[in-house]
A and B are shown apart, each in its own frame.
Chain A
Amino acid sequence: MKQQNPALIPMPPERLLELDNVGVHFPTREGLVKAVNGVSYHVNRGEVLGIVGESGSGKSVTARSIMRLQAKNALDASGTIRFRRQSGAEVLISSEDRQSRTMRQLRGGEIGMVFQEPMTALSPVHTIGTQIARTVMLHRKVSKAEARAQAIALLTRVQMPRPNDIVDRYPHHLSGGMRQRAMIALALACDPVLLIADEPTTALDVTTEAQILELLKSLQQELNMAIVFIPHNFGVVAHIADRVAVMYLGRVVETGTVDEIFYEPKHPYTQALLQSIPRLGKSHGRRLRTISGMVPDPYNVPPGCSFHPRCLKAVGGVCNVTTPEDVVFPSGQRARCHYAGDIAIAEAAQ
C-alpha cells in the first residue's frame, strides 16, 4: 500500500532529505504496531539533525526506512521520503525497493551509515581493510591496490592509530573505540553527503565517546556532510546537533534549533524529558522530575494526543479526543500540542 503523490513539489535547493508523513507499520499477533505514524522531518545540506526520544518512539525504524533496511515484515503505510542526489536529481526513496539498483548505489555511496554495535555491524571474518576496500570497489571503478590505499587513507582520516597495521586486522583485534572509528571510516568510504548515525557512541565510555564526537564533528565540517544523528542522551545531542526533532510514539512532537529545544521547549513532553535528566554541577540532592506512567504499548496508542495520559498540562475533552496538529512558531520551531502557543506565552510571562 504505497501512496504515490503525483504532484510532489520540488524540494528547496538546500534540502537534502525530506520525510513527509512517513508511516511504518508492523503486523503482529497482538495487532498492528504503528511504529512510525506520520513522521515528517527534513535535513539540509551540511546540517546535523539530532533525533531524540525514548525507546519505542520509532526513531531507529524511521532511520532504517530511509535506507530501505527495515525488517522484512514492515509495511510502508504512508508518506514520502525524498533524497537529493549529488547530481541534483531527486529520488523518491519511499517507492524504491530494498534491493533496487538506485538503493544499492545510495547505500554506502551517497548515504553512509554508522550503527550502535560496531562488533555486530562489522564482519568478523574479513579484515578492516577488506571491508573498506570492497565498499570502495563496489561504488568506484578502482583497482584492488588503489582501494587498499584508499582504505589506509580513510583510516588515517578517522585518526586510527597505526593505520598501516590496522588495515590488515580483524574487528576482534580492535577496542570498542577503534571499531567505531573503523565503522566511521567504512561509512565515509565514498564521500557520502548524508550520514545516518544510530546511537554511534552508546556502547562507548565517556572519554572515548568524547573522542568519537569530536571526530564526527570535525569530519562533518571538513566534508560538509549532513548527519541524521540518533543519540542515546541529551548531552550528546546538545553537543553535535544544529536542529533537533523530538519523537514520541511514532510521531515527531517537536522540532526546532538545538537552542530552542534546550532553552525554550514548547511541547510538554520535551519539557518533562529535559527536567528528568540529572545535570552535572546542579543536581546533587535535588529530586529528579519524572514523567508519570510509562510509554504505552505501541498497539494500544491512546486516542487524541498520544502523550495526554502522562501530560501534566492535558485538558480533558480536548487532548484525549483530538489529535493535535503542529503549531508553527515564527522562528520555525514546531510543536505538536494543542496548547503549545499558550505554553510559550506562559513561559514568556515568567
Chain B
Amino acid sequence: MSTAPTKTMHDDTLISVRGAKKYFPVTEGWFNRQVATIKAVDDITFDIKKGETFGLVGESGSGKSSIARLILRAYDLTGGEILFRRASGEVIDITTLGDREMRDLRREMQMIFQDPYSSLNPRMTLLDLVGEPMVIHGVGSAGEIRDRVAELLGLVGLRPEYVTRYPHAFSGGQRQRIGIARALALNPSFIAADEAVSALDVSVAAQNINLMQDLQEKLGLTYLFITHDLGMVEHISDRVGVMYLGRLMEVGPTDSLFAKPMHPYTEALLAAVPQPDPRGNRTRKRVPLKGEIADAMNIPTGCPFHPRCPYADEKCRAEVPALRALDNGRQVRCHYAETLDLVGVAAQ
C-alpha cells in the first residue's frame, strides 16, 4: 500500500486532471522498434465540480475518449496526475493506486458506452448484466441483488419484470438504459458517458438525456459527457471543454463559451453545425474550416490549430500557446484570445 502525500483540491471539486499526458508508441518491424509517438492526450488540465456536467467536445481523434479512459484508468497516464475525491472525503491521486485499490475505487466511478449493441453481453439476462457489478464487488446476497436490480430497472424506466430477458429483446434506447442501470448499480458519484446518445434516434436520445438529467438530480451524480454533438453538449453541460489534437483549446461555462467563444477553433466548430433553421441558414454566413485535422503522429509546430486557423500569424507557427486562465472564469489556449472578436451562437 502506497501512502501518497495528501493532495489538495478545492472543496467543491470532485475530479482534478492536472497536466495529464498519454502517449502511445508507434512500433515497426520484428523488434517493435519505436518509430514515433502519438500524443493522444497532451498536457490536459481541468476540474470537474461535484454535481455538475462537464462536456467534452471535439472532432474524432481529438483525444476526448482517451480522457475518460484515463480518469477510469483503463489507460495508465504517461505523465501528470488525476485527483479524485472519494465518498469519504479523502482526496487521492488515482495514478498512484495499485490494481486492487483501483478496483475498489471503480465503485465510485462508472462509464456508459456508446454502442448499446456491443457493450451488453447477449448471453446474459438483465439480472446478470445489471447485477454483475454487485457480484464482482461482493455486495449483497442473491436476494438483495435481485431486489436492487429490480429497483435500478425501475429507476431507468424499464419494467422490473424484465429481469429475466436478454438484451436482444430491447431497442437501442432501452439497451442504453440497461447500460445506465448497470453503471448505477454500485451508487457511483461519477459517471463518464462516452457518446452515450450518439447512436440513438432523436426522439429516443431526448428521452435518455432527460432520464440522465433526472438521475443526476435525484442521485447527485457528476457527469463527464463526451460527444461530438454540440447541440447536445450545450443542452446538458454546465461547463464545456473543447479539444483539438489531444489538447484542450478552451474551457468555460457553457452559456458564455457558446455565446462568445474565445478560441478560433471553437468559433469554427460552432459555425460548422448545421442548424435546423432553413431561413437562418440562408442569411448566416458559413465559411467552412479549411483542411482536415492533422495527423496525431505529426502535430504541427506552434499552435496545433494554426494551419487551419484564419487568424494565425508567425507567432502561432512558432510558439505553443499555453492554456491561460482569464479573469472571466474561462481558460483559453490562444495567443490572441483577448484581441480576437469571435462569433458564437446568439442566445435566443
Interface residues of A, Cβ cutoff 8 Å to B: 54-55, 175-178, 205-211, 213-214, 233-239, 241, 258-259, 262-263, 272-274, 276-284, 286-291, 294-295
| Contact, CB under 8 Å: A262 / B278 | yes
Contacts of B271 in A (CB 8 A): 210
Contacts of B345 in A (CB 8 A): 280-281
Considering residues A236, A241, A278, which has the most beta carbons from chain B within 10 angstroms of its beta carbon? A278
> Does B231 sit within 8 A of A, measured CB to CB?
yes
Contacts of B209 in A (CB 8 A): 278, 288
- Interface-located stretch among B22-30, B38-46, B199-207: B199-207
Considering residues A176, A258, A276, which has the most beta carbons from chain B within 10 angstroms of its beta carbon? A276
Bound-state CA distance A109–B203 (Å) is 37
Min CB distance A176 to B, Å, is 8
Name the contact of B272 in the complex, choosing from A176, A177, A206, A283 (C-beta under 8 A).
A206
Contacts of B138 in A (CB 8 A): none
| Contact, CB under 8 Å: A281 / B288 | no
| Contact, CB under 8 Å: A290 / B232 | no
| Contact, CB under 8 Å: A209 / B272 | yes
Min CB distance B344 to A, Å, is 8
Bound-state CA distance A283–B55 (Å) is 15
> Does B47 sit within 8 A of A, measured CB to CB?
no
Min CB distance B114 to A, Å, is 14
| Contact, CB under 8 Å: B347 / A279 | no
Contacts of B296 in A (CB 8 A): none
A214-B288, A235-B273 as given contacts; A290 in contact with B207, CB under 8 Å:
yes
> Does B123 sit within 8 A of A, measured CB to CB?
no
The B interface is mostly helix, strand or loop, or mixed, namely: helix
Q: Which residue of A lies closest to B345 (CB)?
A: A281
Name the contact of B288 in the complex, choosing from A210, A277, A282 (C-beta under 8 A).
A210
Interface residues of B, Cβ cutoff 8 Å to A: 59-60, 171, 173-174, 201-207, 209-210, 213, 228, 230-232, 234-235, 254-255, 258-259, 268-279, 281, 286, 288-289, 292-293, 345-348
Contacts of B59 in A (CB 8 A): 205-208
A54-B201, A207-B289, A211-B288 as given contacts; A238 in contact with B281, CB under 8 Å:
yes
Considering residues A178, A206, A282, A290, which has the most beta carbons from chain B within 10 angstroms of its beta carbon? A206
Min CB distance A69 to B, Å, is 24
Q: Which residue of B lies closest to A211 (CB)?
A: B288
Contacts of A209 in B (CB 8 A): 272, 274
Bound-state CA distance A290–B171 (Å) is 16
Name the contact of B231 in the complex, choosing from A211, A241, A283 (C-beta under 8 A).
A283
Bound-state CA distance A281–B261 (Å) is 12
Bound-state CA distance A64–B4 (Å) is 62
| Contact, CB under 8 Å: A54 / B272 | no
Name the contact of A205 in the complex, choosing from B173, B204, B293 (C-beta under 8 A).
B293
Bound-state CA distance A211–B231 (Å) is 19
A205-B60, A283-B235, A284-B255 as given contacts; A276 in contact with B276, CB under 8 Å:
no
Contacts of B210 in A (CB 8 A): 287-288, 290
| Contact, CB under 8 Å: A259 / B279 | yes
Contacts of A208 in B (CB 8 A): 59, 292
| Contact, CB under 8 Å: A175 / B276 | no
Contacts of B347 in A (CB 8 A): 281-282
Min CB distance A137 to B, Å, is 31
Contacts of A281 in B (CB 8 A): 234, 258-259, 345-348
| Contact, CB under 8 Å: A278 / B231 | yes
Min CB distance A47 to B, Å, is 15
Contacts of B204 in A (CB 8 A): 54, 294
Min CB distance B286 to A, Å, is 7
